[in-house]
């Protein structure tokens, strides 16, 4: 069995304030038990080492919550502890999510010294009224100062998270936000539409969002602006300058493997016998903190063969260039004939295409991605 590349996801679940649109496993906290949590993470990673099966970790991603609420010394101890317990590739991409608040921005140089070499800054908007509507704790001016501090701290590789389709937003306002982000010359931009998710404040009290025609106009005009500025879409909502894609996220979308540590973290691992395992860690921070080695998991299951086509396409069809057709057999251990009929059918409908041996969505297929992917799951 060909084992795919390996990544590591680390979840730090605390934030200063829960945003009304957020459905992630994040928890407001006045004080963070960072020493005890790093201890727990290092106990957790010891139980993950066997899942690596001798592979080096090529990328890691520290997500949240707001990981930048942790101190730089705590992140340094975490990074050093991981290096002691797992083989790390020499060209490791180490990303950390951060907020633009002043207190977090002051730590950027410390995070860089700790071994973090890529930041993902959660700006969301450069307009104060929109930031307030989204429940963000930073201002537009703080966002701009934080981006200056990102570069000053030595980060030449970073991402700006930016939303569109915000409450009451016009096309003009959305494009002004996008131009503000582009003026900061980021190597990478995550530009995505606000969606209302269950179990959020916005789901209970929905804001007034732009109508469908406005959303479509924003999408079309924004894509044209990004392309004119030298950015390419390599995934549904991910744009980058040439050769500046996020390697960690690419591994997700190529159906790679990823270990997972931290409260509520999800992992996916391929084993040498061809079976694919999905698992999740205890969701509540208190339960996670109280766990000993080998007792962090909340759930674990093996994917059934019937699920694999859908699982594979759910990831790879998000990529603009798709993935080599041969990777389907390499990463699922199923014959290509399993999906050939569905591929042909969707191709006739103008939703899928094969170019230079790569299976990918057409532009129309990308617009109806959920429908396309659904065809590969069992009914």
11 Cβ contact partners less than 8 Å away, ≥ 6 residues apart: 25, 63, 64, 65, 260, 261, 262, 263, 264, 265, 281
pLDDT at 104: 83
pLDDT in tens, the chain (379 residues): 789 999 999 999 999 888 888 878 888 887 899 999 999 999 999 999 999 999 999 999 999 999 999 999 999 999 999 999 999 999 999 999 999 987 788 899 999 999 999 999 999 999 999 999 999 999 999 999 999 999 999 999 999 999 999 999 999 999 999 999 999 999 999 999 999 899 888 888 989 999 999 999 999 999 999 999 999 999 999 999 999 999 999 999 999 999 999 999 999 999 999 999 999 999 999 999 998 888 999 999 999 999 999 999 999 999 999 999 999 999 999 999 999 999 999 999 999 999 999 999 999 999 899 999 999 999 7
How far CA 310 is from CA of 2, 89, 306, in Å, comes to 19, 30, 8
Q: Which residue do the tokens 């931009």 mark?
A: 189
Residues 37, 74: Cα–Cα separation, whole Å: 9
Global pTM reads 0.95
pLDDT at 316: 97
- Of 309, 313, 329, 321, the closest CA to residue 356 belongs to 321
Do strands 276-281 and 14-15 pair parallel, antiparallel, or not at all (unpaired)?
unpaired
pLDDT at 203: 87
pLDDT at 303: 97
pLDDT at 19: 87
Strands (E) in 175-241, as ranges, are 188-193, 232-235, 238-240
Q: Which residue do the tokens 């129309």 mark?
A: 364
pLDDT at 249: 96
Sheet with strand 232-235: strands edge to edge = 232-235, 238-240, 188-193, 158-164, 118-124, 88-98, 57-64, 6-12, 257-262, 266-270, 276-281, 297-302
Residue 9, strand partner residues: 61, 260
pLDDT at 25: 83
- Of 78, 6, 72, the closest CA to residue 41 belongs to 78
pLDDT at 106: 86
Q: Encoding tokens for residue 71?
A: 């101190």
pLDDT tens digits, 141-195? 999 999 999 999 999 999 999 999 999 999 999 999 999 999 999 999 999 999 9
What are the structural domains, with CATH classification, of the chain?
Answer: 6-251 (3.20.20.70), 306-374 (1.10.10.10)
Q: How far separated are the first and last CA of the chain, in Å rounded? A: 28
Residues 361, 353: Cα–Cα separation, whole Å: 6
- Of 266, 245, 234, 254, the closest CA to residue 63 belongs to 266
């Amino acid at each position: 069995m060909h084992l795919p590349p390996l990544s590591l996801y680390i979840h730090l679940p605390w934030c200063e304030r829960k945003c009304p649109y957020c459905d992630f496993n994040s928890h407001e906290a006045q004080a963070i038990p960072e020493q005890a949590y790093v201890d727990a993470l290092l106990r957790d990673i010891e139980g993950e080492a066997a899942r690596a099966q001798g592979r080096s970790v090529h990328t890691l991603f520290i997500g949240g919550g707001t990981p930048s609420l942790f101190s730089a010394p705590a992140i340094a101890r975490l990074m050093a502890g991981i290096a002691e317990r797992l083989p790390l590739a020499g060209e490791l991409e180490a990303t950390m999510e951060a907020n633009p608040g002043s207190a977090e921005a002051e730590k950027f140089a410390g995070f860089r010294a700790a071994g973090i070499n890529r930041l993902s800054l959660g700006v969301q908007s450069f307009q104060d009224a929109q930031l307030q509507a989204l429940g963000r704790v930073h201002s537009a001016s703080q966002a701009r100062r934080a981006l200056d501090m990102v570069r000053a701290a030595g980060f030449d590789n970073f991402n700006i998270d930016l939303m569109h389709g915000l409450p009451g937003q016009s096309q003009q306002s959305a494009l002004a936000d996008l131009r503000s982000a582009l003026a900061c010359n980021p190597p990478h931009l995550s530009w995505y539409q606000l969606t209302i998710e269950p179990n959020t404040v916005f789901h209970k009290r929905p804001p007034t969002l732009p109508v469908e025609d406005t959303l479509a106009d924003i999408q079309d005009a924004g894509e044209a602006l990004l392309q004119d500025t030298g950015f390419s879409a390599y995934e549904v909502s991910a744009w980058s300058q040439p050769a500046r894609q996020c390697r960690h996220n690419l591994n997700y979308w190529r159906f790679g493997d990823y270990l997972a540590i931290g409260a509520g973290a999800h992992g996916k691992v391929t084993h040498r016998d061809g079976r694919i395992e999905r698992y999740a860690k205890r969701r509540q921070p208190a339960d996670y903190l109280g766990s000993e080695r080998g007792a962090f998991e909340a759930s674990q299951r093996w994917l059934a063969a019937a699920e694999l086509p859908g699982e594979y396409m759910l990831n790879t069809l998000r990529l603009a260039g798709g993935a080599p057709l041969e990777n389907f057999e390499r990463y699922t251990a199923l014959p290509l004939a399993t999906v050939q009929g569905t591929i042909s059918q969707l191709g006739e409908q103008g939703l899928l295409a094969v170019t230079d041996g790569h299976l990918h969505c057409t532009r129309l297929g990308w617009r109806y991605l959920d429908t396309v992917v659904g065809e590969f799951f069992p009914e």
